[in-house]
Amino acid sequence: MSTLRFGQHFIKASAVFLQTELSFALVNRKPVVPGHVLVCPLRPVERFRDLQPDEMADLFSTTQRVANLVEKHFNGTSLTIAIQDGPEAGQTVKHVHVHVMPRKAGDFEWNDSVYDELRFLACSVCPVCFTAPRDFNPSRTERRASRLSITARCLQGSLAFKCIPCNVLLTALASDETVNCFPDCGMYRGYLAQHMEKTITLLYYFCILSTFQQID
């Protein structure tokens, strides 16, 4: 499947990192925080009240799985999980979706500002159409499709092997998405650039060892 329906929009499959029988999870073009992702029912249901019981059960079990993933992958210590249900609540895409955001101490000057940013950014596929809140970050830009794909593949690797898939490394380490994809590696970026070949080799063997540990 090359695209998935997301309300009035179509999402490239490369942005999707998890799909179950009734739900899917995708990376966000305009993340409020690093690791901000969306979990949606496969059926394009506009309002929360219209979900079938099996869809609701799958949506929340998938949200729990995704929340555990992004909190660990992005070194969060807490989570903000939110649903904007209806236009007055800030919903702009006519498709139920759960925002999952890993949180850290000090990520916002005012903790509740995360809800302001969520409201004014609305959703990843929608333009900013309101007056910006007090500490809105004007430098945030939409991430290119290639970077979304890298992030999605990194999260897929974390789900499958609890490490980064080897075929992602060369592309991801050379990109501006490195800090988001590899939150532990940001401070070592200069070193990575100077020692790329050794770094790739070490990470390659680390992934292999991690895979064998999962099999054991």
Q: Which residues lie across from 5 on neighbouring strands?
A: 10
Burial 105-126 (b: 16+ CB within 10 A, else e): eebbeeeebbbbbbebbbbbbb
Cα angle vertex 175, ends 170, 179, to 5°?
105
CA–CA separation, 148 and 179 (whole Å): 13
Q: Does 95 carry a binding-site annotation?
A: no
CA–CA separation, 70 and 196 (whole Å): 26
CA–CA separation, 136 and 146 (whole Å): 25
Q: Does 93 carry a binding-site annotation?
A: yes
23 close to 40: Cβ distance less than 8 angstroms: yes
- Exactly one of 73, 95, 97, 195 is catalytic; which is it? 97
> Tokens 């999605």 sit at which residue?
152
Burial 163-191 (b: 16+ CB within 10 A, else e): bbbbebbeebbebebbebbbbebeeeeee
Torsional class of 110: left (φ above 0), alpha (ψ -120 to 50), beta (otherwise): beta
Q: Does 186 carry a binding-site annotation?
A: no
Q: Does 90 carry a binding-site annotation?
A: yes
97 is catalytic: yes
Active site residues: 97
Known binding-site residues for substrate equal 9, 28, 84, 90-93, 99
Known binding-site residues equal 9, 28, 84, 90-93, 99
